[in-house]
C-alpha cells in the first residue's frame, strides 16, 4: 500500500499491469468502483445525448458473453464527476487474469481519480 487505509493481500494483484491473476481455480467475487472526472469542461449547449460510460471486468482481456462483468451508466448533463461500480462473480482458472476496462462514449476525455478501487475475493473452488 502506498497510503494509509489501503491494503494488498495475496500474490495475485499486479499494480504495474493492473491485472489480478487467480492463484487457484475457483469462483471469485470481483468488484471495482471508479471515481471519474471529465478532464475538459463541457461547452455550453454541448449535450449528453447518447453519452454513456460502460465499465467492464474482463477475463484475459476478452469481454465476451459469460466471461465478463459489466455496468452501464448514462452520463448526466449536470456535473463533471461520476462514480460507477461493477460487481459480480466469475470463474477463473489458475493463472487467468481479470482487469478493468472503461468504454467512454461521452465525447470528452475522462480521468479515473485516486480513491478508485478493485477487489477480488475467492469464494470457493
What 8-state DSSP symbol labels residue 73?
A: E
Domain at 109, CATH number? 2.60.120.40
Residue 59 lies in a domain: yes
Asked if residue 25 lies in contact with residue 93, where contact means CB atoms within 8 angstroms, the answer is: yes
pLDDT score, position 49: 54
Domain residues for the domain of 70 are 14-39+50-124
Task: Per residue of the chain (125 residues), give pLDDT as tens.
Answer: 455 555 656 678 777 788 899 999 999 999 999 998 877 655 555 555 557 888 999 999 988 877 899 998 877 666 678 889 999 999 999 999 999 999 888 777 888 898 888 889 999 98
* The total number of structural domains that make up the chain: 1
Sign of the torsion formed by the C-alpha atoms of 108, 109, 112 and 118: positive
pLDDT score, position 18: 81
Amino acid at each position: 500500500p502506498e497510503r494509509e487505509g489501503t491494503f494488498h493481500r495475496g500474490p495475485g494483484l499486479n499494480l504495474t499491469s493492473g491485472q489480478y491473476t487467480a492463484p487457484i481455480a475457483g469462483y471469485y467475487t470481483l468488484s471495482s468502483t471508479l471515481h471519474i472526472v471529465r478532464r475538459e469542461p463541457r461547452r455550453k449547449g454541448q449535450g449528453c445525448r447518447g453519452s454513456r460510460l460502460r465499465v467492464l471486468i474482463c477475463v484475459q482481456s476478452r469481454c465476451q458473453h459469460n466471461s465478463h462483468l459489466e455496468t452501464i451508466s448514462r452520463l448526466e448533463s449536470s456535473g463533471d464527476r461520476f462514480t460507477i461500480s461493477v460487481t459480480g462473480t466469475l470463474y477463473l482458472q489458475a493463472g487467468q487474469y481479470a482487469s478493468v476496462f472503461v468504454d467512454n462514449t461521452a465525447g470528452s476525455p475522462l480521468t479515473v481519480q485516486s480513491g478508485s478501487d478493485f477487489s477480488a475475493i475467492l469464494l470457493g473452488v
